[in-house]
Every structure is written in C-alpha cells, then in structure tokens.
Structure 1
Amino acid sequence: MKLPVTIHRARFGPVEYKVIRPARPLLAAVLVDHDSHLDAYLDQQAAKLFGGLWTLAASSPRSLVHLPMRGNPAPAHEPPEAGTRQLDLVLLHHSLQFAPSRWKDVRARLDPGRRQTVTLPAPVLTDAPLIHLESRHYRENRDLFHEHVHAETLFMTGSAQVFRDTARHFVEVARNGPGHVPVHPRHPRFCTTIHSNAGVLGKAREIRIEYCDEWIR
C-alpha cells in the first residue's frame, strides 16, 4: 500500500518533534467523544486512510501521526448531541513519552511540511490477535492502548504490535461498508468495534467505527 503523507517538524530548543499528517484532507471522517465511548464515522476513502495511518504508526515510533478532522461536518444520521464533541486524533508509540499537554504548542509551531509517499504492508485481516489474549493481562504487558484527551485531540498511545493488531478494523469498514446489506433495521450501516474485551485497551475507551457516506452540509 502506498500512502501519501506530509511530514512536519516543530523545534523546541534541542528537541525536535516529527508530525506525520495525511497529504490530502480527511473530509469524510468524524471522531465523536460520547464520554463513555468514542464513535468514528468514515466513508470508504477515509477508512482506507485510517487503516494506512494506523499501520504507519506501528512503524514510526519516533513520530506523532496526526489526523485533523474536528471541524468536519457531522454524519447526517447522527446529528450532534448535547454533551458530545468532535476531536482530532494523534497516534503515537508509548516509547516516545510525549506529554499531551505539549501538543497545543507543537501544533502551533509546525513547519509547512514536505510531501512524501510511504510504502506500507497490508494490515493483518484476522480476528485472532498476534499476541495471545492471555498474555495481554500480564502486568508487564505494554501491548495496550492508553488514551488522553487534550486540546480537542484524542491521543491513542500504544505499541507497534497493538497498532498492527487493530488496523484491520478500518480495512473491514472500507471493504464492507459500501455494499453492506443490513440484517436488522436498527443496524443499517456496517460497523465494527475495538472492544474492551479484545485485550487491547488499557486506560482507553471502546471505539465504534461505522461506515457513513452522508454528511450534514
């Protein structure tokens, strides 16, 4: 898979941060914070891009992968609810030890960036995690997602393994969403969830990922 991105840098004295963004705007993508859980609404192209960037985060431990989308139109079938908010998303490896409280300053200092095309392996399409589920419950296990919300941005921090294990959810939405035939009227669109019982969430909420091709304009 070839993925066009823009690589930005921001310097703070001797420290330089590298931020990777999609080269093209994420127009049909929304991430909604419902307090108890998170909802991502994506069209086919956005789902493919999410899958690619999720995979890129697995192989870029020294970078912040930023998906700006908090100003996008909401899904037509899910108008904004009181108490919810739309967020940007940042994916990062736990070894980077980046403090989300620094994000607003880093975001403000990013240079114009340079375009680059990266080649990525295809995500693994299997329900079975590459690490046994039992091992994820060991105290020393670091193959878990942890989240923080700061400056209107959700930070998903994890290992390369957990990013690789979960990229398949977005590929499934891209493949199955457009031609989905509903089997129940209460579930008219294809969706998948990164569940708490899947052994990949530490201090993080479930993320429901739903295909959507109609937006409030």
Structure 2
Amino acid sequence: MRLRLREFRPRSGPYTHRIVQPRHPLRHTSLRAPDPIGLLVGDHDGLSRLAGLFSFAACSRHTIVHVPLRDGVPPDEGVGEPVDLVLAHHGLGLRPSQWPDLRRRLRQGTPLTVRTDEARTGREAAARRERRDRAGCRDELRHATHARTFFLFGSRGVFAEAATGFAYAASRGPYQKGVGDGRMAYLGSFLPLVDPPGGGHPVEVMIGFKPYPPYAHFRPPGVPASRPRPPAGVP
C-alpha cells in the first residue's frame, strides 16, 4: 500500500522526534478509548489506511505514528469522548505526558510517501501469533489514554498482527449483513491489551465497519454501482 504522510521533526529538550501523520484525515473513522471497552469504527478507506499505518509502524522503530481521529464526522456508536491514536515502539521511550507538548509543535510538516510490504507484514504477524502461544511470552500491546489520545506501545510483531486485523476488517466489512442500510458490523477487536492490576473486566477495543452516507449509494467491492439495462424487448 502507498501511504501519503506528513513528517514532523519536533525537538523536546535534547531529543528530536520523528512523527508522521496521514496527509489527509480519516474522515469517516473514529475511536473511543476503552473504559474498559472501547470502539473503533471506520469505513473501507479508514480501516484500509489503518492497516497500512500499523504496518508502517511495525517496521519503523524510531517513528511515532499519530492518527488524528477527533475531528472527523461524529460517530453515532459508542460512548465516551473521541480520541486520537498514537503508535510507538516500546524502546522509543515515549511517555504520554510528553505528548501535549510534542503535539503543539506539529506545525509545518514535510510531505512523505512510503510503501508498505504486506507480504512481510503477514510473515511477521504469523511469527508473532506463534510466539504468543508459548509460555512466558511478554510480547504485549500496552496502552494508555492521556490528553484525548489513546496510546499503543508494542513491538514489530504486535503492530504487524494488528495490521492484518485491520486489513481483514476492511476486506470483510463491506459484505456484512445490514451495512448497506447504515448499520455497523462488528469485526473483532484489537489484539489483547495489557489489563490494569486489580482484575475487573478485560480491556478491549472493538473494531466496527460502517460505510459513510448516503447509504443508498453503497455497494460492496466488485458490485456494479447500477444494474445493467435489459436488452430491448425484455420486460
């Protein structure tokens, strides 16, 4: 997939951070942070681009991926305040408390175009699925919510596996029952998130597909936008 991004290089003390955003907003995609259940809803374009952004994050250990989602079309589903999304590798050392200052510095970015490698992402996702079933596996997807932003901290394999989940949701969502009438279809969830201490309901972010209106114009991929006219003389 080709991703059109915008790259920023803000400084924070002695450090320079590399931050990328989608060049164009995911207008029909929204995210509500888990408390303990969250919800991410997107159309085909939004879920597809999220798959690409997670794939890019998987192979970019020194890059912070920022996906602004608060200013899109207000969603009908879910409860709670809409939040943005930030992806960062564990080893980058990003602290959520740093983010408001970094976000204020995202003023003039440089256009950037990258290509993701879906075959490589698939191999890394499969390898991670094999590892996670082993005893003592600590390859986890940590999370935090701060300053109207949902942070995900993971490894190459974790982000790659999440990318394949979004790709699946984007490909199967348009074929779910009722979506042509404007209903949302659930298509699984993020990978298991690390639960806070003390027990309680597991933390989870569900993924939903919903096309954007007008729904009368929606067609699943491969279905013609209009039916062909019958030959002359055919009732």
Class of the TM-score when normalised by the shorter of the 2 chains: 0.7 to 0.9
Aligned runs of 1:168-179 on 2, under 5 Å? Answer: 168-179=164-175
Aligned runs of 1:38-187 on 2, under 5 Å? Answer: 38-76=38-76, 78=77, 81=79, 84-122=80-118, 123-124=121-122, 129-135=128-134, 137-138=135-136, 141-181=137-177
Shift of 1:127: 7.8
Q: TM-score, normalised by structure 2?
A: 0.77
CA distance in structure 1 between the aligned counterparts of 2:107 and 2:185, rounded to whole angstroms: 39
Q: Structure 1 pair 159/128, CA: closer, same or farther in 2 (3 Å)? A: closer
Matching residue of 1:206: 204
Shift of 1:195: 5.0
Identity across the alignment (%) = 29
Q: Tell me, what secondary structure is at the counterpart of 2:175?
A: coil
AA of the residue aligned to 1:207: V
Which structure 2 residue ranges, 5 or more long, are not aligned? 197-202, 214-235
Instruction: Decide which structure has greater helix share.
Output: 2
Q: Structure 1 pair 41/72, CA: closer, same or farther in 2 (3 Å)? A: same
AA of the residue aligned to 1:94: H
Shift of 1:4: 1.1
The two structures, once aligned, show a CA RMSD in angstroms of 2.3
AA of the residue aligned to 1:27: R
AA of the residue aligned to 1:213: P
AA of the residue aligned to 1:114: T
Deviates more, 1:166-175 or 1:125-134: 125-134
CA distance in structure 2 between the aligned counterparts of 1:124 and 1:132, rounded to whole angstroms: 14
CA contact (8 A) 1:145 1:202 kept: yes
CA distance in structure 2 between the aligned counterparts of 1:114 and 1:65, rounded to whole angstroms: 14
Deviates more, 1:9-18 or 1:98-107: 9-18
Q: Structure 1 pair 211/171, CA: closer, same or farther in 2 (3 Å)? A: same
Larger Rg belongs to: 2
Which one scores higher on RCO, CA 8 angstroms, separation ≥ 6? 1
Deviates more, 1:159-168 or 1:39-48: 159-168
Please list the CA deviations of residues 8-53 of structure 1 after superposition, one character each: whole Å capped at 9, or x if unmatched: 1111232111111011111011001251111100000000110000
Aligned residues: 200
Q: Structure 1 pair 134/159, CA: closer, same or farther in 2 (3 Å)? A: same
Shift of 1:101: 0.1
